[in-house]
Amino acid sequence: MATTYDAIVVGAGHNGLTCAAYLAKAGRKVLVLESRDSIGGATASEEIYPGFTFSTCSYVVSLLRPQIIRDLELSKHGLEIMPLDWTFSPFEDGTSLLRGPDAEMNRRNIARFSRKDAERYPLFGQAMSELGRMMKPIIESPIPEPSKLTPSTIFEALRLGKQFKGVGEEWLAANLKMMTMSAVDFLSEWFESERLIGPMSVSGIIGTFLGIRSPGTAYVLLHHYMGEIDGAFRAWGLQKGGTGGVAMAIARSAESLGVEIKTGCRVDKVLMTGSEARGVVLVNGDEYHAKAIVSGADPHRTFLGLIGEDRLDEDFVKQIKRFKMRGSSGKVNLALDSLPEFPGLDQESPALRADITIAPNIDFLERAYDDAKYGRFSREPFMDCVIPSLTDPSVAPPGKHVMSIFVQYAPYNLKEGPADWENQREAFGDAVINTLERFSPGIKDRILHRHVLTPWDLEKTYGLTEGNIFHGELSLEQLAFMRPAAGWARYKTPIEKFWLCGSGAHPGGGIMAAPGQLCANTMLKARAV
Amino acid sequence: MEGISIQRAARSADLNHFALAGDARKRYILTPMPIRSPFHDRVARYCTSFAWKDWAGYYAASHFGETHLPEYWAFRESCAITDITPLFKYEVKGKDAARLLSRMTVRGFEKLPVGRVAYTCWCDANGKVIDDGTVSRLGEAHFFITAAEPTLSWMSRLSRGFEVELLDVSERTGALSLQGPTSRDVLKQCTDANLDALKFFQTTSAKLDGAGVQISRTGYSGDLGYELWCNAEDALKVWDALMTVGRDYGIEPAGIEALDMVRIEAGFIMLGVDYYSAPHVTIDARRSSPYEIGLDHCVKLDRDSFMGQEALRAEAARGAEWKLVGVEADWLELERLYESYSLPPGLAPAACRDSVPLYLDGKFVGQVTSTVWSPLLKRYICLASVKAQYAALGTKLKLEHTALYERKTVTATVVERPFFEPERKRTP
Task: Note whether residue A405 is domain-resident.
Answer: yes
Residue A476 sits in a domain of what CATH number?
3.50.50.60
Residue A487 has pLDDT above 90, yes or no: no
Residue A157 pLDDT class (50, 70, 90 cuts): low
Residue A97 has pLDDT above 50, yes or no: yes
Tally of domains in chain A: 3
Residues B73 and B98 in one domain: no
Instruction: Evaluate the omega torsion of the peptide bond into residue A507 and state whether it is cis, within 30 degrees of 0.
Output: yes
Residues B161 and B99 in one domain: yes
Average pLDDT over residues A72-91: 89
* End position of a domain, from candidates A444, A465, A486: A465
- CA-CA distance, B61 to B46, in Å (whole number)? 9
Phi, psi angles (nearest 5°) of residue A236: -90, 130
* End position of a domain, from candidates A233, A255, A273: A233
Residue A376 pLDDT class (50, 70, 90 cuts): very high
Task: Note whether residue B262 is domain-resident.
Answer: no
Say what the pLDDT of residue B19 is. 39
Residue B383 sits in a domain of what CATH number?
2.40.30.110
* End position of a domain, from candidates B317, B337, B365: B317
Residue A21 has pLDDT above 50, yes or no: yes
Residues B14 and B46 in one domain: yes
- CA-CA distance, B363 to B409, in Å (whole number)? 12
Say what the pLDDT of residue A62 is. 73
Residue B31 has pLDDT above 70, yes or no: no
**Domain range enclosing B218:** 2-87+171-254
Residue A29 has pLDDT above 60, yes or no: yes
Task: Note whether residue B280 is domain-resident.
Answer: no
Q: A279-295: b or e for each residue (b if 16 or more CB lie within 10 Å)?
A: bbebeeeeebbbbbbbb
| Cα B380 to the center of its chain, rounded Å | 21
Contacts of B77 in chain A (CB under 8 A): 80, 82, 240, 391-394
- CA-CA distance, A140 to A230, in Å (whole number)? 13
Give the pairing of strands A87-90 and A355-358. Answer: parallel
Q: Could you give the ipTM of this predicted complex?
A: 0.79
Name which of A67, A81, A393 is nearest B250 (Cβ-Cβ): A393
Nearest to B29 by CA among B50, B49, B15: B15
Residues A274 and A369 in one domain: no
Name which of A83, A231, A399 is nearest B344 (Cβ-Cβ): A231
DSSP reduced 3-state for B61 = strand
Instruction: Evaluate the omega torsion of the peptide bond into residue B375 and state whether it is cis, within 30 degrees of 0.
Output: no
Nearest to B366 by CA among B388, B391, B390, B386: B386
Nearest chain A CA: its distance from B256 CA (Å): 19
Contacts of B2 (CB under 8 A, 6+ apart): none
Nearest to A40 by CA among A78, A84, A73, A1: A78
- CA-CA distance, B162 to B35, in Å (whole number)? 34
Task: Return the number of other C-beta atoms located less than 10 Å from residue B242's C-beta.
Answer: 26
Residue A267 has pLDDT above 90, yes or no: yes
Say what the pLDDT of residue B332 is. 86
Cα A516 to Cα A141, A250, B76, distances in angstroms? 11, 11, 29
Residue type, A404: S
Tally of domains in chain B: 3
Contacts of B73 in chain A (CB under 8 A): 82-83, 391
Task: Note whether residue B273 is domain-resident.
Answer: no
Maximum distance among all Cα pairs of chain A, rounded to whole angstroms: 70
Closest-CA residue of B relative to A390 is B250
Is any Cβ of chain A less than 8 angstroms from the Cβ of B30? Answer: no
From its phi and psi, is residue A414 left (phi > 0), alpha (psi between -120 and 50) or beta? Answer: beta
Task: Note whether residue A91 is domain-resident.
Answer: no
Task: Return the number of other C-beta atoms located less than 10 Å from residue A36's C-beta.
Answer: 17
Residues B105 and B55 in one domain: no
Residue A220 pLDDT class (50, 70, 90 cuts): confident
- CA-CA distance, B129 to B149, in Å (whole number)? 12
* End position of a domain, from candidates A178, A212, A233: A233
Contacts of A233 in chain B (CB under 8 A): 345, 347, 349, 373, 375, 378
Residues A219 and A288 in one domain: no
Residue B21 pLDDT class (50, 70, 90 cuts): very low
Residue B11 has pLDDT above 50, yes or no: no
Residues B334 and B403 in one domain: yes
Residues A269 and A373 in one domain: no
| Length of chain A (residues) | 529
| Length of chain B (residues) | 428
Mean pLDDT for chain A?
89
Say what the pLDDT of residue B16 is. 40
- CA-CA distance, A270 to A301, in Å (whole number)? 12
Q: Which long-range contacts (CB under 8 A, 24 or more apart) does A103-110 make?
A: A105/B66, A110/A193, A110/A196
Task: Note whether residue A438 is domain-resident.
Answer: yes
Percent residues over pLDDT 70 in chain B: 93
Average pLDDT over residues A88-117: 93
Look at A491-505, B257-271, B333-347 and tell me which has the smallest mean pLDDT: B333-347
Q: Is A258 exposed, middle or buried (0-12, 13-18, 19+ CB in 10 A)?
A: middle
Residue A156 pLDDT class (50, 70, 90 cuts): low
- CA-CA distance, A510 to B155, in Å (whole number)? 60
Residues A385 and A488 in one domain: no
B332-368 pLDDT tens trace = 899 899 989 888 787 888 999 999 999 999 999 999 9
Residue B313 pLDDT class (50, 70, 90 cuts): very high
| Best to test chain B binding among A229, A394, A400 (most B CBs inside 10 Å) | A394
Phi, psi angles (nearest 5°) of residue B3: -55, -40
Task: Note whether residue B424 is domain-resident.
Answer: no
B72-119 pLDDT tens trace = 999 999 999 999 999 999 999 999 999 999 999 999 999 999 999 999
Residue ranges with strand state E in A263-354: 267-273, 276-282, 287-295, 329-336
From its phi and psi, is residue A166 left (phi > 0), alpha (psi between -120 and 50) or beta? Answer: left
A295-340 pLDDT tens trace = 999 999 999 999 999 999 999 999 999 999 999 999 999 999 999 9
Q: Is B331's CB within 8 Å of A66's CB?
A: yes
A460-471 pLDDT tens trace = 999 999 999 999
Residue A167 pLDDT class (50, 70, 90 cuts): low
Q: Is A394's CB within 8 Å of B332's CB?
A: no
Look at A35-44, A153-162, B139-148, B374-383 and tell me which has the smallest mean pLDDT: A153-162
Query: Which range among A100-109, A221-230, B351-360 has the greatest average pLDDT?
Result: B351-360
Query: Which range among A154-158, A299-303, A509-513 has the greatest average pLDDT?
Result: A299-303
DSSP reduced 3-state for A443 = helix
Task: Note whether residue B271 is domain-resident.
Answer: no
Give the pairing of strands B322-329 and A498-500. Answer: unpaired
Task: Note whether residue A387 is domain-resident.
Answer: yes
Say what the pLDDT of residue A151 is. 65
Say what the pLDDT of residue B24 is. 47
Residue B140 sits in a domain of what CATH number?
3.30.70.1400
DSSP reduced 3-state for A383 = strand
Residues A317 and A335 in one domain: no
Residues A375 and A461 in one domain: yes
Say what the pLDDT of residue A218 is. 87
Q: Is A232's CB within 8 Å of B347's CB?
A: yes
Mean pLDDT for chain B?
92
Task: Note whether residue B427 is domain-resident.
Answer: no
Residues B346 and B383 in one domain: yes
CB A320 within 8 A of CB A472: no
Contacts of B65 in chain A (CB under 8 A): 350
CB A342 within 8 A of CB A96: yes
Say what the pLDDT of residue A226 is. 65
- CA-CA distance, A442 to A464, in Å (whole number)? 34
Say what the pLDDT of residue B10 is. 35
Look at A131-135, A252-256, A422-426, B60-64 and tell me which has the smallest mean pLDDT: A131-135
Residues A257 and A193 in one domain: no
Q: Give the bridge partners for A279, in sequence order.
A: A271, A289
B219-231 pLDDT tens trace = 999 999 999 999 9
Residue B372 has pLDDT above 90, yes or no: yes
**Domain range enclosing A379:** 326-465
